[in-house]
Amino acid sequence: MLKKLAIILISVFGILLAVPTLFSNTASYFPSWMHPISLGLDLKGGAQLLLEVNTDVMLKEKSVQLYDEVRSAMIDRNKGVIRFSELRNNDQGVSLIVREDKEVSKAKGRLKSVLGNNVDIDSSGKSLTVSYTNKAREEMISDAMNRSIEIVRRRIDALGTKEPSIQSQGGKYILVQLPGVDNPERIKELIGKTAKMSFHLVNENVTSEQLQSGRAPSGTMFLQYLDNPNQLVPVYSRVEVSGDSLKNSQADFDQNNMPVVTTEFDASGTRRFAKLTTEHVNERFAIVLDDKVLSAPTIREPIPGGRGQISGGFTLQGAKDLAVLLRSGALPAPLEVIEERTVGAGLGADTIAAGKIGSIVGVTLILVFMALLYGVFGVFADIVLIVNLLMIIGVSALFGATLTLPGIAGIVLTLGMAVDANILPFERIRDEIREGVPSLRAVDYGFVRSTKTVMDGELTNLICALILFQFGAGPIRGFAVTLSIGVMTTLFTCLLLTRVFVDWYMNGKNKKIGYIHNKNK
Mean of the per-residue pLDDT values of the chain: 83
pLDDT tens-digit map of 101-112: 888 888 888 888
Burial class (CB in 10 A: 0-12, 13-18, 19+), 30: middle
Where is average pLDDT lowest: 6-10, 76-80, 153-157, 473-477? 473-477
Please indicate, yes or no, if residue 354 is contained in any of the structural domains: yes
Of 94, 112, 137, which residue is a domain's last? 137
Query: In the predicted model, what is the mean pLDDT of residues 401-417?
Result: 81
Q: What is the pLDDT of residue 10?
A: 94
**Does residue 469 sit within a domain?**
yes
Task: With CA atoms as reference, report the closest residue to 323 among 396, 226, 387, 250.
Answer: 250
* 112 and 259 assigned to the same domain: no
> Is residue 61 located within the same domain as residue 35?
no
Ranking 4-18, 41-55, 182-196 by mean pLDDT, the lowest is: 182-196
- Rounded to whole angstroms, the Cα distance separating 463 from 485 reads 12
**Does the residue 159 lie in any domain?**
no
Predicted confidence band at 13 (pLDDT cuts at 50, 70, 90)? very high
- On whether both 130 and 218 belong to a single domain, the answer is no
Asked if residue 327 belongs to a domain, the reply is no
DSSP states of 445-511: HHHHHHHHHHHHHHHHHHHHHHHHHHH--THHHHHHHHHHHHHHHHHHIIIIIHHHHHHHHHTTS--
At 518 the pLDDT is 46
Using alpha carbons, select from 368, 372, 503 the residue that is nearest to residue 429: 503
**Structure confidence by residue, pLDDT tens digits, 261-312:** 888 888 878 888 888 888 888 899 888 888 888 888 888 888 888 787 777 6
Question: Domain check: are 364 and 490 in the same one?
Answer: yes
Residue range(s) defining the domain that contains residue 371: 2-40+345-520
Write down which residue in 86, 110, 137 finishes a domain.
137
Question: Per the structure, how many domains does the chain have?
Answer: 3
Task: Answer yes or no: do 498 and 378 share one domain.
Answer: yes
**Residue 474 carries which side chain, given as an amino acid letter?**
G
CA angle 45, 49, 51 (to 5 degrees): 165
516 pLDDT exceeds 80? Answer: no
In a domain? residue 374: yes
* Model pLDDT, residue 485: 92
Instruction: Tell me which of 288, 311, 334 is where a domain ends.
Output: 311
Q: Is 10 exposed, middle or buried (0-12, 13-18, 19+ CB in 10 A)?
A: middle
Question: Does residue 374 share a domain with residue 509?
Answer: yes
Q: What is the pTM of this model?
A: 0.58
pLDDT in tens, 200-228: 999 988 888 888 888 888 889 999 887 78
Are 217 and 266 contained in the same domain?
A: yes
Residue 284: CATH number of its domain: 3.30.1360.200
pLDDT tens digit string along 464-477?
989 988 887 666 77
Contact 486, 392 (CB under 8 A): yes
The band of 351, judged by pLDDT with boundaries at 50, 70 and 90, is low
| Beta-sheet pairing, 197-201 with 285-289 | antiparallel
